[in-house]
Amino acid sequence: MLWNVTTTLLGGLATTVEIFFLTLLFALPLGLIIAFGTMTKFTPVRWLCNALVWVVRGTPLMLQLIGFFYIPGILGLHIWPGGDPGRMMATVVAFSLNYACYFSVIYRGGIQGVPVGQREAGEVLGMTKSQIFFKITLMQMIKRIVPPMSNEIITLVKDTSLARIIAVYELTFTGFSFMKSAGLVWPLFYTGVFYLLFVGILTIFFNYLERKLDYFR
């Protein structure tokens, strides 16, 4: 029985891991774009980005998830493919946008934390704006944002369980299903072990990353 439950839960875990990595894949770069948007001197873009961050951080992710999945259909726009792929796509879009907004604030803090003198030193050496960003600012920003980002990314692992609300068969939903089908409660709590292991691996990775970036101060 334990073996049976474990293999079934591993199936759910695969979906959880998929949501996790796809969200990171889109949210990490999108967050940087939004961060630049909130820092630009061009007022309309700055307001738009600030409004986006406000709305996304100001409403529950679960609500956004439901909205992204159902509202297009209600409006007669059937943008999601049918069945599981559609649910998965809506999930990844909602998660990516949500996390990109949180990331953008962390990025902004990281960029603004790099002393102005670094940019000026690059300028007087005749570097272009993009050289200054990619060759000077970026690495210092990354070093600064590893601790807050690790928090956010670990939260993402557990937030994936919200996808259950639109019937995505992720880890928590899988554990829950044993209650209905077999009257078993323990598989649901057993999922906690999987989350713990996942977060444990991430913690080791982030510690490694912090140590890797310790070569400069």
Partner 1 sequence: MTVLEAKHIEKHFGSVRVLEDISFSLEEGQVLAIIGSSGSGKTTLLRCLNFLETPDQGTITVKDELLFDAADPATQRESEIRRKRLHFGLVFQDFNLFPQYTALQNVTLARELMAKNEKTGESLEDIRAEGKELLAMMGLKDRMSNYPHQLSGGQKQRVAIARALAMKPSILCFDEPTSALDPELTGEVLKVIRSLADQDRTMIIVTHEMEFARDVADKVMFMDGGVVVEEGTPAEVFGNPKHPRTRQFLDKFSG
Which parts of this chain interact with partner 1 (CB under 8 A)? 115, 117-118, 120-128, 131, 135-136, 139-140, 143, 215-217
Please state the closest distance from residue 139 (CB atom) to partner 1, in A. 5
Residue 146 CB contacts under 8 Å (≥ 6 apart), including other chains:
206, 209, 210, 213
Please state the closest distance from residue 213 (CB atom) to partner 1, in A. 9
- Would you say 65 and 162 are in contact if contact means Cβ atoms under 8 Å apart? yes
Q: Which amino acid is at 46?
A: R
113-132: string of b/e by CB count within 10 Å (b at 16+)? Answer: ebeeeebeebeeeebeeeeb
Give dist(CA 46, CA 141) in Å, integer.
Answer: 21
Please state the closest distance from residue 147 (CB atom) to partner 1, in A. 17
- Would you say 40 and 58 are in contact if contact means Cβ atoms under 8 Å apart? no
Q: Which is nearer to partner 1, 127 or 199 (CB)?
A: 127
Q: Which is nearer to partner 1, 56 or 149 (CB)?
A: 149
Q: Which is nearer to partner 1, 3 or 216 (CB)?
A: 216
Phi and psi of 131, rounded to 5°?
-60, -40
Q: Which is nearer to partner 1, 48 or 127 (CB)?
A: 127
Give dist(CA 120, CA 147) in Å, integer.
Answer: 27
Q: Which is nearer to partner 1, 121 or 201 (CB)?
A: 121
Give dist(CA 20, CA 17) in Å, integer.
Answer: 5
Q: Which is nearer to partner 1, 125 or 185 (CB)?
A: 125
Please state the closest distance from residue 208 (CB atom) to partner 1, in A. 18
Per the document, the length of the chain is 217
Please state the closest distance from residue 128 (CB atom) to partner 1, in A. 7
